[in-house]
Structure 1
Amino acid sequence: MSHKLRIHSPAIHYFDMVRRCNSIREAARRLNVASSAVNRQILKLEDEIGAPLFDRLPGGLRLTPAGEILARHVTVVLQDIDRVRSELDAMQGLRTGHVEIATVEGVTADLLPCVLKGMRERYPQVTIGVTLLGSQAIPEAVLSGSADLGLAFALPRCAELQQLCVGHFRLGAIVAPGHPLASQHEVSFASCAEHGLILAKSELSIHHLLAPLRRRLRQSDRPSLESGSVELAHQLARRGIGVAFQTRIGIEADLANGELKHIPLSDNGGVFSDLGLYVRGGRYLPVAVDAFARQLGEEIRLRERQELESLGN
């Protein structure tokens, strides 16, 4: 079944697209209908509800409190349509479907490509969309329905999110092979500060994991460099500019090639970052989303076992 199911009123679909685009004109363009048709459906919904759904602002439309309530309901309804379509496809022996995942940058170097390759080989007709976000933005992407799955490090507990799987990975200092710290088996955050710090900005989970250590550390003589990109941090560490921090996830090739060293932090007996896979709580997963989630879970557990074995040697 390749066509889209239209079980519910067009108003539901029109409202959702306007919510995503913050514009009636852009929503109409994406829906391939006239702007007047979209506007009529929005006005009809507002009349039935008895309250405006959008504030009309110079910069575009913004949901009102009533609109936010309706948006939560519409997200559930439309995701349920995806589930129904997926189940109908499964009954016919098909392997079609679409998956949207919001993920942090660190997993895109090796872990996620491995899973995407496996999905392509097993389910070649399943399409997948990937959006890169900071950890702090991923819960909203999942809860709003713009992503089926969220993959992030060190997310705080949220009652509205369900954790499908989690792997525990040790945070460490990232340095070039010739760095003075490179021969260490463990290292303290204070020792790293003596060589210049490459720190993560607040949108990244590493920033929050290291915050307690930064508060305990007295002002360093060397200024810190902050980056919102883990890849930039790798490149700076590779050039010997300072000490960056992350788990082994994301630098697998650099470690194998000997271009970077990962030295576990010794503070508090070790600093750990949990890599979790999340879905909106209570959601019944379509077949394609469930298959992708299972493969991701298997890969995360595999990487966790490999790290434990490497640390044990």
Structure 2
Amino acid sequence: MAKIVALHYFAVVTRCSSLRDAATQLDIHPNVLARHISQLEYYMDAPLLERGPLGIRLTAAGELLAAKLDRTINELDHVARLIDDLKGLRGGLVGVHAAEGVASAVLVPVLAAFSARYPQVRARLRTGTAKDAVRAIEDASCDLALTFFAPASDAIAVVRRVRLPQFIIAPPGHPVTQAGGAVCTLLGSYRWVLPGPEFGVRTFIDRAAAEAGCRIVPTFEAASLALQRALIREAGALAVLPRAAFADEIAAGTMVAVPFPEAMPVETSLDLCVPADRQPSFAAERLRRDLETALMQLRP
């Protein structure tokens, strides 16, 4: 147990400029922290830190340990959750990584119902690209990922895949909402807000536009759903998202979902991913089932 505590302490030290700063974050005396680091160095049989007048920096051995530390601690935390399951406890933590375009529309309602059934379970949520999601599963910092176009990886298994049409999300009265306003020849003349090229959905949009003979150059690049919503409303920009992402606004009439022209279908793969070789905790397994049910009920 002492070694595990020392590893946790060292993880904090790697993000600080001095042992005193790290001790403050950990709410322990600097001498106690120094003793744990010394014990870890003794166990590793190598110095992990170099101490100087300007603070601390990692040695080569310290850099090597730090590179592996997050995954090691995450795996230990995962084992602790599995042990809790063996004891019949139904609490703990489940980590979920989601594409922001579906996080509020799909994930949040599922989590709300899940939390009502299992109030002792905590959820740690992250958003980002599909590559971010794969990395989070690989380093054991999340248990589930809900993302568009999951990249191939030996570390993940796609347990549910749905085809989800994307729509042009526009403010009411925009020319694209009028008859003939969504033809390919006009799409390139509008103002768009799209995620950056590191997102799989952006790559798909660019390819679909090129194949249809038009070129869409975004005026704004933003992955944040809140920013996209504001730019649609304030700048008259067009976004590309599933209808579910703006279901409330569409129902209220403050935004309109316009289908892409037949010559330019934009349909994405929404993938529910889990670790390929890591046993799920009770909470992760139950949440996976709930998410699968929600995905099966999705409608274009």
2:2 to 10, 13, 24: 10
Which letter does structure 2 place at the counterpart of 1:146?
S
2:253 to 258, 280, 287: 258
Q: Secondary structure, in 3 states, of the residue corresponding to 2:297?
A: helix
Task: Tell me which residue corresponds to 1:22.
Answer: 15
Change (3 A) 1:28 1:165: farther
- Residues 47-84 of structure 1 show CA distances to partners (whole Å, capped at 9, x for unaligned) of 43345556889797666234434554443233112111
For residues 61 and 12 of structure 1, the distance between their equivalents in structure 2, rounded to whole angstroms, comes to: 21
Q: Residue deviations 1:10-61, cap 9 Å, x none?
A: 3224314533662355664565544443443344334433455568897976
The alpha carbon displacement at 1:281 in A equals 2.9
**What are the within-5 Å matches in structure 2 for residues 59-138 of structure 1?**
64-69=63-68, 71-88=70-87, 90=88, 94-138=89-133
| Counterpart AA for 1:142 | I
User: Greater shift after overlay, 51-60 or 237-246?
Assistant: 51-60
Which AA in structure 1 matches 2:15? N
C-alpha distance in 2 between matches for 1:27 and 1:284: 33
TM-score of the pair, normalised by structure 1: 0.76
Aligned-residue RMSD, C-alpha: 3.5
In the alignment, structure 1 residue 280 sits paired with structure 2 residue 275: yes
Cα pair 1:185 1:264 within 8 Å, conserved:
no
Specify which of 278, 289, 297 is matched with residue 292 of structure 2: 297
- Which whole-Å CA distance do the structure 2 matches of 1:55 and 1:135 have between them? 37
Shift of residue 236, structure 1, vs aligned partner: 2.5
2:176 match: secondary structure: coil
Return the letter of the residue paired with 1:132: T
**Change in 2 beyond 3 A, CA 1:65/1:245:** same
Which of 231, 241, 248 is 1:246 aligned to?
241
In 2, distance between residues paired with 1:53 and 1:155? 37
More displaced stretch, 46-55 vs 228-237: 46-55
Answer yes or no: is the 8 Å Cα contact 2:96–2:144 preserved in 1: yes
Change in Cα spacing, 1:101 to 1:110, as seen in structure 2 (3 Å) is same
Question: In the alignment, what sits opposite 1:201?
Answer: 196
How has the CA–CA distance of structure 1 residues 13 and 165 changed in structure 2, closer, same or farther, with 3 Å as cutoff? farther
CA distance in 2, matches of 1:33, 1:86: 31
Letter in 1 for 2:139: S
**Aligned-residue offset at 1:147:** 2.7
User: Any residues of structure 2 matched to 1:144-293 within 5 Å, and which?
Assistant: 144-183=139-178, 187=182, 190-213=185-208, 224-239=219-234, 241-266=236-261, 270-293=265-288
| Identity value in percent | 22
Structure 1 window deviating more from structure 2 (186-195 vs 125-134): it is 186-195
Any gaps of 5 or more consecutive residues in structure 2?
none
- CA gap of 1:223–1:200, structure 2 versus 1, over 3 A, is closer
Distance 1:74 1:196, change over 3 A: closer
CA distance in 2, matches of 1:185, 1:248: 20
One-letter amino acid matched to 1:118: A
Give 1:183 deviation, angstroms: 4.6
Deviation at 1:284, TM superposition (A): 0.9
Structure 1, unaligned stretches of length 5 or more? Answer: 1-8, 308-313
* SS of the residue 1:102 aligns to: strand
**C-alpha distance in structure 2 between counterparts of 1:60 and 1:230, whole Å:** 40
- Give the distance between the partners of 2:136 and 2:56, measured in 1 at CA: 20
| Secondary structure in structure 1 of the residue aligned to 2:150 | coil
Summarize the Cα distance change of 1:283–1:174 in structure 2 as closer, same or farther, 3 Å threshold: same
**CA displacement 1:211-259 (0-9 Å, x = unmatched):** 3246676777x87222232232233324562321122231111222232
Aligned length: 292
**Aligned residue number for residue 310 of structure 1:** none
Establish whether residue 44 from structure 1 lines up as the match of residue 36 from structure 2. no
Compared with structure 1, are the counterparts of its residues 203 and 36 closer, same or farther at alpha carbon in structure 2 (3 Å cutoff)?
Answer: farther
Aligned to 1:311: none
Structure 1 residue 156 displacement after superposition: 1.6
